[in-house]
Amino acid sequence: MDARTDAPLRSPLAPPPPTQPLRLRARAATAQEMAAIPWLKTLEAEQRERIASSIQAVDVEVGERICRIGREANFWFGVIDGLLKMSNDDAAERPVTFTGVPPGGWFGEGTLLKREVYRYNIQALRRSVVAGLPLESFHELLESSLAFNRYVLNQLNERLGQFIAAREIDRQSDPDLRVARNLAALFHPQLYPGVNGLLRITQQELGHLVGLSRQRVNEALRHLQERRLIAVEYGGLRVLDLAGLRVYPQ
């Protein structure tokens, strides 16, 4: 996803964030939530059982932040359900959104590898369930699991390709093209395996990510649906031709 000027996040109907910090609301992940974590399947049985006990989950409300610029990175985070956005500092002269993170997406491995502080904010666009693997468990897996190393390396490689493509999209002025390419990024089967062809997103949420009004997003989606690239369904979008979205308008 490309960088673009942000629109306000919170809807008047959105519930206010809970008063308790996320860390105090964290809980053990359920078996169903564990089943939605793609990299767990790469581990050996004994290792998977041991690591699973360290994974936490938390329910996040609209507008709540999972990561803040300048804060120490203590967890590797992934989206079980919902939709997050990665952005720069809200106080910046030009606030921008870097990417959206739908179900199945895990992020922040580069920050954890270097044991740095966050250089971005991660905020919920809709009610979400987020899982976290503690920093030390992350490094333990890097040291002991070849399959996990390959998974993380593939994540970094695919994300690099995504951000290079985002720079190209950012130079495009055609709203239909911007919506098509950004949708293609959100349907990335390796980075976001939890989407499974159906992305639960509203036109307003997509507008936040793409940097367009809801009305212009609606028009772009209609054009893409006419081309049989997507199908607009109740509560979300279904991709019909991912390859076509990636090369639109060819």
- What confidence score (pLDDT) does residue 126 get? 94
- pLDDT tens-digit readout, 199-229: 999 999 999 888 889 999 999 999 999 999 9
- pLDDT tens-digit readout, 147-176: 999 999 999 999 888 777 766 666 667 899
**55 contacts: CB under 8 Å, gap ≥ 6:** 28, 29, 34, 37, 131, 132, 133
**153 contacts: CB under 8 Å, gap ≥ 6:** none
- Residue numbers of the chain with a pLDDT score lower than 70: 1-19, 89-95, 166-172
- What confidence score (pLDDT) does residue 8 get? 40
- What confidence score (pLDDT) does residue 14 get? 54
Q: What pTM was computed for the model?
A: 0.86
- The full set of domains in the chain, from first to last, is 4-160 (2.60.120.10), 173-247 (1.10.10.10)
